[in-house]
Amino acid sequence: MTATASSTPTVQRPTSVDEAAKVLREGGGSVLFRGTGTKMSWASRPRDPDLVLETGGLDRLLDHNPADMTASAQAGMPLRVLQERLGEAGQWLALDPPTEPDGATLGGLLATGDSGPRRLRYGALRDLVIGVTLVLPDGTVARAGGHVIKNVAGYDLSKLMYGSLGTLGLIAEVVLRLHPLPETSATVVAASTVQEATARSVDLLASPLAPTAIDWVGDPRGSSGRLAVRFEGSAAGVAAQTTALRKRLEATEVLVDTDEAALWRENASAHRAESEQSTAFAGTLPTRLTDVATALAKAGDAAGVDVSLASQSALGLHTARFSGPPAQQAAAFDEWRGEVLAIGGTVLLRQRPAEVDAGVDPLGPAPSTVGLLRALKARLDPDGRCAPGRLAPWL
């Protein structure tokens, strides 16, 4: 008998692709896929499902080929556990999302499109997945890609699932492209207003230097902030690049080892919401950082809430954080989103207190591609089983 939306959902925890396929094939009603739950509030909140399929049982490293620099793993494996295993062979998955310490899983990261500052050099997870195994809502198992980096056979399902928020099917296994662990790392830090950070980030993109990450964290009103530029690689290469950058910037310092690690942990925390706060994520051209910050300061002042900004400035990826009464957080977010959309950006509401939802549409205006999104949904999930309400009212 199928559960009603108001009853307690059935929870299943398969340990293999075949088990997951059987659960979906034999189960009925709506289904929600859940890893460690680090991003369940992103976008619209899912409505109560009939079935919750937890991926915690799909947590094995299936294969690691150090010579080919590839690995395959079940999608419920936490990223931090995978990194520990790969590190034994001097390799890693070049991904550093801020949710990694919370236990973010491989499948959850692919489904949400989460990444970190090293995306500047290595790309996002969609660029590092070379094969994927999915279980569609009717229990059909679909595979694409393979175990070699140049494999291009089949439809690119991994990119289709990237950012789908669990609305199309279960990501069960992934095949990953790996990188060698860098020999050394160093970060150049410079005090920078938001205007200075914008100019310096754009200048670095046009320079011969090859930073791994460029992050700015600070006051969106522009009065203070810190630009961090990371270099990784051989000891000689890192030394040459940090020296060259210090000549281009004034009042800099170079952090290494524990001091450098502490800085990047602090930067990562600026992209995450603390209790009773909200965060929102925006994507723009890198040249628009100052506009994003100005709009955030204006929205915060108008609504009477505290705001802060953390930006992967060379990528044009920004996290705004709102602190204050929920209704005022909602008002500030809504105004800021309107300004970012007006300059050609995109915005996604992420973590927030449940009360914020009463004052704002989490998704906002539908994109021009909404017709394509609906067609894909109808093709892969014709009964609308997956993640009910997650992308409402778009889907």
**Do 261 and 314 sit in the same domain of this protein?**
no
Same domain for 72 and 144:
yes
Shared domain check, 343 and 281: yes
Answer yes or no: do 132 and 216 share one domain.
no
Let me know whether 161 and 74 are in one domain: yes
Q: For 12-26, what is each residue's pLDDT tens digit?
A: 999 999 999 999 999
CB-based burial, 234-245: b 16+ in 10 Å, e otherwise: eeeebeebbeeb
In-domain check, residue 298: yes
Q: Tell me: the pLDDT tens digits for 298-323? A: 999 999 999 999 999 999 999 999 99
* pLDDT at 5 (0 to 100): 42
285 and 243 fall within a common domain: no
Q: How confident is the model at residue 175 (pLDDT cuts 50, 70, 90)?
A: very high
In a domain, 40, yes or no: no
Residue 352 belongs to what domain range? Answer: 277-359
User: Which residue, of 180, 204, 239, is where some domain finishes?
Assistant: 180
292 falls within a domain: yes
**Do 284 and 215 fall within a single domain?**
no
Q: Are the C-beta atoms of residues 345 and 338 closer than 8 Å to each other?
A: no
Which pLDDT tens digit goes with each residue over 275-304? 899 999 999 999 999 999 999 999 999 999
Whether 234 has a pLDDT exceeding 60, the answer reads: yes
**CATH number of the domain where residue 228 is located:** 3.30.70
Same domain, 129 and 100: yes
Residue 79 has pLDDT above 60, yes or no: yes
Q: Which residues are registered as beta bridge partners of 272? A: none
Task: Give domain status of residue 389, yes or no.
Answer: no
Q: Residue 381's closest CA among 140, 71, 178?
A: 140
* One domain for residues 87 and 165: yes
Of 125, 145, 180, the last residue of a domain is 180
Predicted confidence (pLDDT) at residue 265 exceeds the cutoff of 70:
yes
Identify the CATH number of the domain in which residue 108 sits. Answer: 3.30.465.10
pLDDT confidence bin for 4, thresholds 50/70/90: very low
Query: For 86-137, what is each residue's pLDDT tens digit?
Result: 999 999 999 999 999 999 999 999 999 999 999 999 999 999 999 999 999 9
Q: Count of domains in the chain?
A: 3
65 occurs within a structural domain: yes
Backbone angles phi, psi at 302, to 5 degrees: -65, -35
Domain stop point among 146, 180, 214? 180
Q: Please indicate, yes or no, whether residues 227 and 310 belong to a single structural domain of this protein.
A: no
For Cα atoms 161, 142, 24, give the angle at the middle one, nearest 5 degrees.
85
130 in any annotated domain: yes
> Global pTM?
0.91
User: Does residue 343 lie in a domain region?
Assistant: yes
Domain membership flag for residue 199:
yes
Is residue 252 located within the same domain as residue 161?
no
The CATH number of the domain where 301 resides is what? 3.30.70.260
Verify that 191 and 258 share a domain, yes or no. Answer: yes
> Which amino acid would we find at residue 284?
T
